[in-house]
Structure 1
Amino acid sequence: MKKIISLLAIILIFVSCKEEVVKKPDRLIEKEVMLNIMYDLSLLEAIKYQNPASLDTFKINPKKYIYKKYKIDSLQFAKSNTYYASNYEEYTAIVVELEDRLTKKKEEIATIIKAEEKKNKKKKKTIEKPVSPTTKLIDSLEINQRKRL
């Protein structure tokens, strides 16, 4: 996630230094869809950072997955990202909303983990290690990717 935010900040700096305004691309990705794309990219980057072999194990190519899921291509994404980054207030709003969404998801997962731990303590049995939220997310990504193929 830090990599994505750093990349977005660098793009923002380069775009904001230009005197000319970035023209609206022909196939601009809608703001809400762009937020969803950035959210998914953040999750995939986090998975890749936490467990690098996990995406390879499930044969998930993050870029191809995102492009297929949102029916976009790399050029369309790059142009849309540059366009949004050229408007500081709008891009800041997108990034803030993205951070809020990631924070809420993190809190949800922490709540689920705590509930599972309490449940396991009550059983007082030796059971298998609970499935991590990352594994659940990877499984759902794999299922979605197989459906699309």
Structure 2
Amino acid sequence: MRKIIPFLAILIFLISCKDEVVKKPERLIKKDVIVNVMYDLAVLEAIKYQNPASLDTFKINSRDYIYKKYKIDSLQFAKSNVYYASDYEDYKLMFEQITKRLDANKKSVDSLLNLDKKKKKPILQNNKKPAPIVVDTTKLK
């Protein structure tokens, strides 16, 4: 009898831990779609804070744009986000995917910016500085 009580207590504890913390929403957004949504939101929020005039010029609200693009609403996104966040390990993997995509895009943008800078630099021959331009002001009228 003494051995059965601790065994039952452990069994009840393990069974009770299997219940979902958050119920699955009726209109759950698929995991790959919500990763895309969160990625797009991250990019638009970065644009908003780096160059706020770019979104204000076209009167773009980043959240409304994303909701229209993916045909979702704010409540559906919020409930799906809470549902996926309830599983910490899986949510962490989702954020790692987003971070990898952001890093890959950052590298490509940096390489494009470096190419643009190289095009704008004057090409120096034999590592010499270009000769200064001398204007003869006596010949000017």
Q: Which residue of 2 aligns with 1:22?
A: 22
Secondary structure of the corresponding residue to residue 59 of structure 1: coil
Structure 2 unaligned spans of 5+: 1-18, 125-141
- Specify the structure having the higher radius of gyration (Cα): 2
Q: Name the counterpart of 1:103.
A: 103
What is the aligned partner in structure 2 of residue 88 from structure 1?
88
Indicate the residue corresponding to 1:42 in structure 2.
Answer: 42
In the superposition, the TM-score normalised over structure 1's length comes to 0.67
Higher helix share: 1
Query: Which residue matches 1:132?
Result: none
Tell me the distance in 2 between the aligned counterparts of 1:91 and 1:63: 21
Say if 2:113 is the partner of 1:120.
no
**Pairwise CA distance, 1:93:** 0.3
| Within-5 A mapping of 1:45-60 | 45-60=45-60
Alignment length, in residue pairs? 106
TM-score, normalised via structure 2 length: 0.70
In structure 2, give the amino acid aligned to 1:109: V
**Displacement, 1:121?**
2.1
For 1:106, the aligned partner's letter is K
Q: CA RMSD, aligned part only?
A: 1.7
Deviation at 1:122, TM superposition (A): 5.1
